[in-house]
Amino acid sequence: MSLYQIISGPMVWTSFLLFIAGTIFQIIKLYPFIKQSTTRLNAISYSSVNREKTTTANNKKIFTKKLFRHLPDFNSLIYKFAMLKYSLFGRYPLTIFVTTLFHLLLIFSPFMVLGHNILFESALGVSFPSLSSEFSTILTFIIILCCLYFLIRRLTVPLVKSITTSSDYIMLAIAAAPFLTGFMAHHQIFNYTVMLHLHILSGEIMLISIPFTKFIHMIYFIITRVVLMNNGLRIKELKI
Give the interface segment with another protein, choosing from 73-81, 87-95, 137-145, 196-204 (CB under 8 A).
87-95
Residue 45 lies near another protein (rule: CB under 8 A): no
**Contact pick of 230, 236, 239, 240 for another protein (by CB under 8 A):** 230
**Contact pick of 52, 164, 197, 236 for another protein (by CB under 8 A):** 164
* Alpha helices, DSSP H, located in 109-191: 114-124, 133-156, 158-162, 166-186
Residue 168 lies near another protein (rule: CB under 8 A): yes
Instruction: In angstroms, give the least distance from the CB of 220 to another protein.
Output: 5
Phi/psi class of residue 74: alpha, beta or left (left: φ > 0; alpha: ψ in -120 to 50)? alpha
Residue 214 lies near another protein (rule: CB under 8 A): yes
Answer for the pair 174, 15: CB distance below 8 angstroms, yes or no: no
**Contact pick of 71, 231, 239, 240 for another protein (by CB under 8 A):** 231
Instruction: In angstroms, give the least distance from the CB of 167 to another protein.
Output: 9
Query: How many residues belong to the chain?
Result: 240
Instruction: In angstroms, give the least distance from the CB of 31 to another protein.
Output: 10
- Positions in 52-71 near another protein (CB under 8 A): none
Cα separation of 181 and 136, whole Å?
14
- Positions in 15-34 near another protein (CB under 8 A): 30, 32-33
Residue 75 lies near another protein (rule: CB under 8 A): no
Cα separation of 106 and 206, whole Å?
11
Cα separation of 145 and 142, whole Å?
5
Cα separation of 21 and 231, whole Å?
28
* 36 vs 76 by CB, closer to another protein: 36
Q: What angle do CA 95, 133, 12 make, to 5 degrees?
A: 80
* 187 vs 239 by CB, closer to another protein: 239
Residue 157 lies near another protein (rule: CB under 8 A): yes
Neighbour tally for 235: CB within 10 Å: 11
Cα separation of 226 and 74, whole Å?
26
Instruction: In angstroms, give the least distance from the CB of 150 to another protein.
Output: 9
Instruction: Give Cβ neighbours of residue 196 (< 8 Å, ≥ 6 apart).
Output: 4, 181, 185
Binding site for another protein (CB under 8 A): 30, 32-33, 36, 88, 91-92, 95-96, 99, 157-160, 162-165, 168, 214, 216-217, 220-221, 223-226, 228, 230-232, 234-235, 238
